[in-house]
Amino acid sequence: MLSRYPAYIVTGTHWLEKIPSHWKLVGLKKYLDSLIDYRGKTPEKTKDGIFLVTAKNIKNGRVDYSLSQEFVDPIEYEEIMHRGKPHLGEVLFTTEAPLGEVANIDNINVALAQRVIKISGKKNVLNNYFLKYWLENKNFQDHLQSLATGSTALGIKSSKLFELRTLLPSYEEQQTIAKFLDYKTTQIDELIEKKEQLLKLLEEKRIALITNAVTGKVIPPGGGHRTGSCGPVGDNGVVSGYSSSNEISYKPSGIPWLGNIPQHWEVKRLRSLMKGKLSNGIFKKRDDWGFGTKLINVSDIYTNNFLVNTSNLTLVNCSDEELETYRVKDGDFFFVRSSLKLEGIGQSSSLIGNNEELVFECHLVKGSPNQSQINARFLNYFLNSTALRNYFISHANTVTMSTIDQSVFKDTILCVPTLLEQQYIVEHLDIELAKIDQLSAKVTEAIEKLKEYRTSLITSAVTGKIDLRNWSPPTSLSLPRACPDSSGRGKEGEVERS
């Protein structure tokens, strides 16, 4: 059981009330051997070469090489890093976009980009691994935010770095605290990773369920949760049109990505299932934003249930003529026709159960389903099936942005069952997906609690709320840190905190 220190003193700062009586609150720069700010000229990027660690790579206390993959020419490396090359264990600190992310260097064969500062504590005075956790703790982060400036992205100026402060326990305590946090955060991070993998599996199951249902690959079981609106169901519990799940007759759809479909389903192009034509949305300058009519934006399309939520829409000023041209009706569906990310192209959502006056913006395409032929919700599910999402992505054009031509959308091919079957499939999916979403929500909540615990534990340890002087790691513990070799450059291995 971890206890508190026997005595504390008041710091006199608003962001850190009390610290152990033998600790010091000191100016950070005074206790650094080096502080190198890499802000300046942006290095020229290449397709391969030496990995460039950007502010995007530094997240959750470590360098994540998967988040951004940029490279610089090895010939230019000496010039790019003339202010100082990286050494194992030194601390990286992001100054903007995002502000305040930290990590210890775990690979010296990298270049460092703008908006990244490299700092190193004084030898045998300020331990770099303790320092990383100190910079990560909530008290310091709150203080950092109070010094930040900027309108679109918060950042910290070089002059403000002199105002940053650190706690200074004995060097031995710093080592123990860092080892303790390495041990505990590794456990927490492994739990988080497992739960995040579970979320991915649940999402895969969710999309597979939708795809199989709307393409007729799996027939939903009849009976139990069916409503009267679905039409007659036989004694075998199968909706009208099927004799049984084992006796369904299939036919080739003639579409490679669609494969075989139930014999009585029809293959149709989207344009034959619509009222009117597809249309692009309204373009408005920023001066017209913030008042007027609710606007459906690109970000409003990326929803988990593929339905537009009208409660938090942006407002935009529209003329009467614009309202008439870009008005949205209940049941309308939307495609994303241009996206910064390829995987975002062709994403679709529908507007269901709306009676407000709305318009939609220019990066979207809108269509209105002919509900005498196609159920709006069935169409909504079909447009978000794996087969169709992959089809849209494969037909995108990518230069600086990914775009897709309107003709691709209107010529899209769907397989269409009867309206009664469509309704039944929708109701079945609503019920089954609700179960998955409920489980996903519980997993997400558990992840958030683990992250909160991680943050709280780091803060408690580095601010002296818990006394770790007598803590020792399990004998089998091997920490994945850098062990300096005779050159001082380091090699991968267990921690040696000297």
483 within 8 A of 491, measured Cβ to Cβ = yes
- Is residue 473 packed enough to be buried (19+ CB in 10 Å), middle (13-18) or exposed (0-12)? middle
Among 381, 374, 333, which Cα is nearest to 210's? 381
CATH code for the part of the protein at 266-416 = 3.90.220.20
243 has pLDDT over 80: no
Among 270, 267, 268, which Cα is nearest to 252's? 267
At residue 492, the pLDDT reads 38
At residue 346, the pLDDT reads 87
For 261-274, write each residue's pLDDT tens digit: 999 999 999 999 99
At residue 229, the pLDDT reads 37
At residue 2, the pLDDT reads 81
Report the distance separating Cα 368 and Cα 330, nearest Å.
9
For 319-347, write each residue's pLDDT tens digit: 999 999 999 999 999 999 988 888 888 89
Report the distance separating Cα 436 and Cα 440, nearest Å.
6
For 408-418, write each residue's pLDDT tens digit: 899 999 999 99
At residue 476 the predicted structure's pLDDT band, cuts being 50, 70 and 90, is low
Q: What is the three-state SS of the chain?
A: CCECCCCEEECCCCCCCEEECCCEEEECHHHEEEEEECCCCCCCEECCCEEEECHHHEECCEECCCCCCEEECHHHHHHHCCCCCCCCCCEEEEEECCEEEEEECCCCCEEECCCEEEEEECCCCCCHHHHHHHHHCHHHHHHHHHHCECCCCCECCHHHHHHCEEEECCHHHHHHHHHHHHHHHHHHHHHHHHHHHHHHHHHHHHHHHHHHHHCCCCCCCCCCCCCHHHCCECCCCCECCCCCCCCCCEEECCCCCCCEEECCCEEEEHHHHECCCCEECECCCHHHEEEEEEEECHHHCCCCCCECCHHHCEEECCCHHHHHHHECCCCCEEEECEECCHHHCCCEEECCCCCCCEEEECCEEEECECCCCCCHHHHHHHHCCHHHHHHHHHCCEECCCEECCHHHHHCCEEEECCHHHHHHHHHHHHHHHHHHHHHHHHHHHHHHHHHHHHHHHHHHHHCCCCECCCCCCCCCCCCCEEECCCCCCCEEECCCCC
For the CA atoms of 184, 189, 191, 192, the dihedral, rounded to the nearest 10 degrees, stands at: 140
At residue 222, the pLDDT reads 52
- Each domain of the chain, given as residue ranges in start order, spans 1-8+173-235+420-498, 24-168, 266-416
State mean pLDDT over 9-38: 94
For tokens 């009867």, name the residue: 418
CATH topology of domain 24-168: Adenine-n6-DNA-methyltransferase TaqI; Chain A, domain 2 (3.90.220)
At residue 490, the pLDDT reads 41
At residue 204, the pLDDT reads 94
Q: Which residue has the higher pLDDT, 449 or 387?
A: 449
450 within 8 A of 184, measured Cβ to Cβ = no
Tokens, residue 26: 């000191």
Q: Which residue has the higher pLDDT, 260 or 488?
A: 260
240 has pLDDT over 90: no
Q: Which residues contact 381 (CB under 8 A, 6 or more apart)?
A: 210, 213, 214, 306, 425, 426, 429
At residue 237, the pLDDT reads 34
Report the distance separating Cα 319 and Cα 324, nearest Å.
9
What is the sign of the dihedral through the CA atoms of 456, 461, 463 and 464? Answer: positive
Report the distance separating Cα 38 and Cα 42, nearest Å.
9
Q: Which residue has the higher pLDDT, 242 or 247?
A: 247
For the CA atoms of 136, 139, 143, 144, the dihedral, rounded to the nearest 10 degrees, stands at: 10
Report the distance separating Cα 296 and Cα 329, nearest Å.
12
The strand pairing partners of 46, in sequence order, are 71
Structural Rg of the chain based on CA atoms = 29
For 100-116, write each residue's pLDDT tens digit: 999 999 999 999 998 99
At residue 81, the pLDDT reads 94
At residue 72, the pLDDT reads 95
Poorest-confidence range of 216-220, 285-289, 426-430, 494-498? 494-498
At residue 365, the pLDDT reads 93
Q: Which of 169-183, 210-224, 390-404 has the highest mean pLDDT?
A: 169-183
494 has pLDDT over 90: no
Mean pLDDT of the chain: 87
State mean pLDDT over 346-353: 91
145 has pLDDT over 80: yes
- Same fold yes or no, 24-168 and 266-416: yes
How far from each other are the two terminal CA atoms of the chain, in whole angstroms? 28
Q: Residue type at 92?
A: L
- What is the number of other CB atoms lying within 10 angstroms of the CB of residue 342? 12
481 has pLDDT over 60: no
For 154-192, write each residue's pLDDT tens digit: 888 877 888 899 999 999 999 999 999 999 999 999 999
Report the distance separating Cα 374 and Cα 415, nearest Å.
11
465 within 8 A of 167, measured Cβ to Cβ = no
Report the distance separating Cα 404 and Cα 264, nearest Å.
32
Among 326, 318, 313, 315, which Cα is nearest to 289's? 315
State mean pLDDT over 64-85: 94
At residue 195 the predicted structure's pLDDT band, cuts being 50, 70 and 90, is very high
